[in-house]
Structure 1
Amino acid sequence: MSEKRQVLIVTPSESLRTELRDLLKSIDSVASAPLMASDNRQGLELARTRSPQLAIVELSANTIPAQTLARELSAVAPDTTVVGLLKPEFFASAPSESRLLIDSLRSGFKDFLNYPVSKGELEELIRRLSSETRRSPAKLGAVFSFISNKGGVGKSTLSVNAAAALAQRYPDRVLLVDASLQLGVAASLLDLQPTSTLTDVAREQNRLDQTLLEQLTVRHSSGLHLLAAPKNPIEATRVTEEILTQVLTLGRRTYDYIVVDTFPVFDAITVALLDLTTRAYIVTENVVPTLLGAANLIELLDQLAFPSDHVEVIINRFQNLSGSLGREDIAARIGRSIDWVLPYDKRVISAANLGRPIIEYSPTFFRFRRVLAKLVDSMEEVVGHAKSNGTTLERLPAEFTQTPTVGE
Structure 2
Amino acid sequence: MSEKRQVLIVTPSESLRTELRDLLKSIDSVASAPLMASDNRQGLELARTRSPQLAIVELSANTIPAQTLARELSAVAPDTTVVGLLKPEFFASAPSESRLLIDSLRSGFKDFLNYPVSKGELEELIRRLSSETRRSPAKLGAVFSFISNKGGVGKSTLSVNAAAALAQRYPDRVLLVDASLQLGVAASLLDLQPTSTLTDVAREQNRLDQTLLEQLTVRHSSGLHLLAAPKNPIEATRVTEEILTQVLTLGRRTYDYIVVDTFPVFDAITVALLDLTTRAYVVTENVVPTLLGAANLIELLDQLAFPSDHVEVIINRFQNLSGSLGREDIAARIGRNIDWVLPYDKRVISAANLGRPIIEYSPTFFRFRRVLAKLVDSMEEVVGHAKSNGTTLERLPAQFTQTPTVGE
TM-fit CA distance, 1:2:
3.1
Q: Deviations 1:37-74 (Å, cap 9, x if unpaired)?
A: 11111111211222212110000111001001111111
Q: Which whole-Å CA distance do the structure 2 matches of 1:21 and 1:293 have between them?
A: 44
TM-fit CA distance, 1:369:
1.1
TM-fit CA distance, 1:407:
24
TM-fit CA distance, 1:119:
2.1
Q: Which whole-Å CA distance do the structure 2 matches of 1:54 and 1:403 have between them?
A: 34
Task: Identify if the C-alpha distance between structure 1 residues 128 and 397 changes in structure 2 by more than 3 Å, giving closer, same or farther.
Answer: closer
TM-fit CA distance, 1:82:
1.1
Structure 1: which 5+ runs fail to align?
none
TM-fit CA distance, 1:387:
12
Task: Identify if the C-alpha distance between structure 1 residues 368 and 405 changes in structure 2 by more than 3 Å, giving closer, same or farther.
Answer: closer
Task: Identify if the C-alpha distance between structure 1 residues 397 and 341 changes in structure 2 by more than 3 Å, giving closer, same or farther.
Answer: farther
The answer (yes or no) to whether the contact 1:178–1:184 under 8 Å persists in 2 is: yes
TM-fit CA distance, 1:404:
23
Task: Identify if the C-alpha distance between structure 1 residues 161 and 282 changes in structure 2 by more than 3 Å, giving closer, same or farther.
Answer: same
Q: Deviations 1:301-344 (Å, cap 9, x if unpaired)?
A: 01111110111100111112122111111111001111111111
Q: Which whole-Å CA distance do the structure 1 matches of 2:142 and 2:157 have between them?
A: 20
The answer (yes or no) to whether the contact 1:165–1:359 under 8 Å persists in 2 is: yes
Task: Identify if the C-alpha distance between structure 1 residues 4 and 388 changes in structure 2 by more than 3 Å, giving closer, same or farther.
Answer: closer
The answer (yes or no) to whether the contact 2:140–2:393 under 8 Å persists in 1 is: no
Task: Identify if the C-alpha distance between structure 1 residues 132 and 223 changes in structure 2 by more than 3 Å, giving closer, same or farther.
Answer: farther
Q: Which whole-Å CA distance do the structure 2 matches of 1:397 and 1:15 have between them?
A: 37
Question: 1:258 maps to what in 2?
Answer: 258
Q: Which whole-Å CA distance do the structure 1 matches of 2:94 and 2:394 have between them?
A: 57
The answer (yes or no) to whether the contact 1:374–1:393 under 8 Å persists in 2 is: no
1:226 is aligned to 2:226 = yes
Task: Identify if the C-alpha distance between structure 1 residues 255 and 19 changes in structure 2 by more than 3 Å, giving closer, same or farther.
Answer: same
Query: If the length of structure 1 is used for normalisation, what is the TM-score?
Result: 0.93
Question: 1:395 maps to what in 2?
Answer: 395
Q: Deviations 1:277-307 (Å, cap 9, x if unpaired)?
A: 1110000011101000000000100111111
TM-fit CA distance, 1:96:
1.1
Secondary structure, aligned partner of 1:314: strand
Q: How does 1:4-403 map to 2 (within 5 A)?
A: 4-132=4-132, 134-135=134-135, 137-384=137-384
TM-fit CA distance, 1:103:
0.7
Query: If the length of structure 2 is used for normalisation, what is the TM-score?
Result: 0.93
The answer (yes or no) to whether the contact 2:310–2:401 under 8 Å persists in 1 is: no
Q: Deviations 1:214-260 (Å, cap 9, x if unpaired)?
A: 11000001110000000000110111111111111111111111100
The answer (yes or no) to whether the contact 2:7–2:34 under 8 Å persists in 1 is: yes
The answer (yes or no) to whether the contact 2:11–2:58 under 8 Å persists in 1 is: yes
Q: Deviations 1:355-386 (Å, cap 9, x if unpaired)?
A: 01111111111111111111111111111259
Q: Deviations 1:109-141 (Å, cap 9, x if unpaired)?
A: 111111122223222222323444623632211
**Most deviating of 291-300 and 129-138:** 129-138
Q: Deviations 1:116-170 (Å, cap 9, x if unpaired)?
A: 2222322222232344462363221111100001100000000000001111111
TM-fit CA distance, 1:402:
22
Q: Which whole-Å CA distance do the structure 2 matches of 1:320 and 1:399 have between them?
A: 31
Structure 2: which 5+ runs fail to align?
none
